[in-house]
C-alpha cells in the first residue's frame, strides 16, 4: 500500500481508503463478524483511512466501525461528518459541535482525525427542507455562529484534527471561497471515468454535472481531495457490464433508468482501458490515483474479495498517456467518438 500526505498537513493516509457508506452496505447492513473480518483484512492490506458519517445507517456505521476497531485493537485515521438540515439553521455552530461529539461517542474515540461538513457549499441561498442536507449556503458556513465557527470550536477543543467539506457539483466557486479561508484541508468529491470534471475543465460538449476542476482548486489552497463513488455507484465494474447481480449487501442499480442506460452505453467505449489481467474497477481507481491532488480514493467494500481487488491497485502506476488521450477524446465528444 502506498501513502499520500493530505495537502500541506502532516497527516498521511493510505491512497485506498475504506468507505463506510450505504452503497456497499457492509457497515450498515452487514453482520458484526463479517464487518470485523473485512476491516481486519483491510488493515492487513495497509488501509489506514476510514470514512464515515452519522447519516450512514442513522449512526449504525459509526457504531459498527467503533466496535470492530475496539475488538481489533486498531487505531486508523478516522473521518466523520456533520449533516446540517433546516432544523439546525438557528444554531449551526452548536449543531456542528454536538454532531462531532455524537460521532466520537458512537465511534468510542476521543478525537476525529478529519471532520467534514456533509453539505456542499452553495454561492446562492439554498432552501433546506426536512431531511435534506445536499447543500448549504456559503453565508451559513462563514457567518458568526455558522459551520466554520463550529469547526474552529472543535479544533480549539482538540476534538478534531483537519476540517473538510463535500463537493456536489456546480459549486467550485463556493468551494474556492471556503478553501481560501485556510480552515479546510480535504474536500470529498466524485471523480470518475464517466465524469472527470473534478480533475479537469469541463469540455464544451460534455453533458454532465460540472465539478469545476475543484481538485486543482484544492491543491492551490494547500488541500487535497478524497474521491467518493469512484465506480459511479457500482457502474464501473465488470459485473455491471456482464449484467451480473451486485453483492447482496450492496445497494441495487436500477437498469431501467435513463441515466443507467446512458452510462451503460458509455461504459462499452471504455473497455480499452484496463491492462491485461486488470478489472474495469481497478482501472477506474488507477485513473483517480493518476491525479496527484488526490490523497485517497474511497472503496465501497461489501466483502473481503472487494478489498483484495482494490487494494491491489495501489502502486500500479498512472494511466498511460496514450490511454489518457483516448479518454480525453471521448470526454470532448461527449462519448460520441
What Rg do the C-alpha atoms of the chain give, in angstroms?
19
Contacts of 78 (CB under 8 A, 6+ apart): 50, 52, 65, 107, 109, 112, 113, 114
Identify the sign of the CA torsion 213, 216, 222, 224: positive
User: Is residue 16 one of the residues assigned to a domain?
Assistant: yes
Per-residue pLDDT averaged across 313-330, rounded? 96
Per-residue pLDDT averaged across 126-142, rounded? 97
Residue 202 pLDDT: 96
Assess whether pLDDT exceeds 80 at residue 278.
Answer: yes
Assess whether pLDDT exceeds 80 at residue 206.
Answer: yes
Quick: pLDDT tens for 173-194: 999 999 999 999 999 999 999 9
Determine how many CB atoms are found less than 10 A away from the CB of residue 329. 13
Residue 71 pLDDT: 97
CA dist 103 and 64 (Å) reads 12
| Residue 221 CA: distances (Å) to CA of 182, 192, 326 | 7, 23, 30
Per-residue pLDDT averaged across 151-167, rounded? 98
Q: What is the CATH number of the domain that holds 176?
A: 3.20.20.100
What is the share, in percent, of the chain residues with pLDDT greater than 70?
A: 100
Band of the pLDDT at 259, cuts 50, 70, 90? confident
Quick: pLDDT tens for 14-41: 999 999 998 899 999 999 999 999 999 9
Residue 319 DSSP code: P
Strand 120-122, strand 3-5: pairing: unpaired
All three cell numbers of 172? 467550485
Residue 153 pLDDT: 98
In whole numbers, what is the pLDDT of the chain averaged over residues? 96
DSSP codes, 279-311:
-HHHHHHHHHHTSTTEEEEEEE-SSHHHHHHHH
User: Is residue 337 one of the residues assigned to a domain?
Assistant: no
Report the number of distinct structural domains present in the chain: 1
User: Is residue 266 one of the residues assigned to a domain?
Assistant: yes
Per-residue pLDDT averaged across 233-242, rounded? 91
Per-residue pLDDT averaged across 203-228, rounded? 96
User: Is residue 101 one of the residues assigned to a domain?
Assistant: yes
CA dist 313 and 288 (Å) reads 11
Per-residue pLDDT averaged across 247-272, rounded? 89
Assess whether pLDDT exceeds 90 at residue 154.
Answer: yes
Assess whether pLDDT exceeds 90 at residue 253.
Answer: no
Degrees to nearest 5, angle at CA 123 with 131 and 94? 50
Quick: pLDDT tens for 50-72: 999 999 999 999 999 999 999 99
User: Is residue 174 one of the residues assigned to a domain?
Assistant: yes
User: Is residue 150 one of the residues assigned to a domain?
Assistant: yes
Residue 258 pLDDT: 85
DSSP codes, 19-61:
E-STTT-HHHHS-HHHHHHHHHHHHHTT--EEE--TTTTTTHH
Would you report the helix, strand and coil content of the chain in percent, each value rounded to 5? 40, 15, 45
Half-sphere exposure of residue 325: CA atoms within 13 angstroms, side-chain side: 3
Assess whether pLDDT exceeds 80 at residue 337.
Answer: no
Half-sphere exposure of residue 16: CA atoms within 13 angstroms, side-chain side: 28
Assess whether pLDDT exceeds 90 at residue 256.
Answer: no
Contacts of 84 (CB under 8 A, 6+ apart): 92, 95, 96, 117, 118, 119, 128, 133, 136, 140, 147
| Contact in structure between 253 and 233 (CB atoms under 8 Å) | yes
Residue 91 pLDDT: 98
Region for residue 45 given its phi and psi (left: phi exceeds 0; alpha: psi -120 to 50; beta: otherwise): alpha
Residue 266 pLDDT: 93
Band of the pLDDT at 316, cuts 50, 70, 90? very high
Residue 167 pLDDT: 97
| Least-confidence region, from 13-17, 148-152, 263-267 | 263-267
Per-residue pLDDT averaged across 264-277, rounded? 94
Quote the domain boundaries for residue 293: 3-332
User: Is residue 160 one of the residues assigned to a domain?
Assistant: yes
Provide the whole-model pTM.
0.96
Amino acid at each position: 500500500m502506498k501513502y499520500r500526505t493530505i495537502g500541506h498537513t502532516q497527516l498521511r493516509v493510505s491512497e485506498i481508503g475504506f468507505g463506510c457508506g450505504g452503497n456497499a452496505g457492509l457497515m450498515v447492513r452487514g453482520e458484526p463478524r463479517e464487518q470485523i473480518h473485512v476491516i481486519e483484512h483491510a488493515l492487513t492490506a495497509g488501509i489506514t483511512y476510514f470514512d464515515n458519517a452519522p447519516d450512514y445507517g442513522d449512526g449504525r456505521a459509526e457504531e459498527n466501525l467503533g466496535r470492530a476497531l475496539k475488538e481489533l485493537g486498531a487505531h486508523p485515521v478516522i473521518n466523520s461528518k456533520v449533516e446540517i438540515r433546516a432544523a439546525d439553521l438557528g444554531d449551526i455552530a452548536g449543531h456542528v459541535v454536538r454532531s462531532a461529539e455524537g460521532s466520537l461517542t458512537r465511534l468510542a474515540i476521543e478525537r476525529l482525525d478529519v471532520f467534514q461538513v456533509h453539505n456542499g457549499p452553495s454561492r446562492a441561498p439554498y432552501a433546506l427542507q426536512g431531511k435534506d442536507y445536499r447543500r448549504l449556503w456559503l453565508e451559513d458556513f462563514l457567518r458568526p455562529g455558522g459551520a466554520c465557527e463550529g469547526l474552529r470550536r472543535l479544533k480549539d477543543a482538540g476534538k478534531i484534527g483537519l476540517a473538510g467539506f463535500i463537493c456536489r457539483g456546480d459549486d467550485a466557486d463556493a468551494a474556492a471561497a471556503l478553501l481560501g479561508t485556510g480552515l479546510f484541508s480535504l474536500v470529498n468529491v466524485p471523480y470518475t471515468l464517466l465524469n472527470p470534471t473534478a480533475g479537469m475543465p469541463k469540455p464544451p460538449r460534455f453533458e454532465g454535472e460540472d465539478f469545476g476542476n475543484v481538485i486543482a482548486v484544492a491543491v492551490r489552497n494547500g488541500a487535497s481531495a478524497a474521491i467518493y463513488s469512484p465506480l459511479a455507484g457500482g457502474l464501473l465494474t465488470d459485473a455491471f457490464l456482464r449484467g451480473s447481480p451486485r453483492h447482496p449487501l450492496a445497494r441495487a442499480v436500477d437498469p431501467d433508468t435513463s441515466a443507467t442506460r446512458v452510462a451503460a452505453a458509455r461504459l462499452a467505449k471504455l473497455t480499452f482501458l484496463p491492462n491485461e489481467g486488470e478489472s474495469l474497477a481497478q482501472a477506474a481507481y488507477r485513473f483517480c490515483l493518476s491525479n496527484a491532488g488526490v490523497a485517497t480514493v474511497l472503496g465501497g467494500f461489501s466483502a473481503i474479495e472487494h478489498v483484495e481487488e482494490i487494494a491491489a491497485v495501489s502502486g500500479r502506476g498512472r494511466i498511460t498517456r496514450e490511454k489518457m488521450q483516448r479518454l480525453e477524446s471521448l470526454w470532448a465528444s461527449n462519448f460520441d467518438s
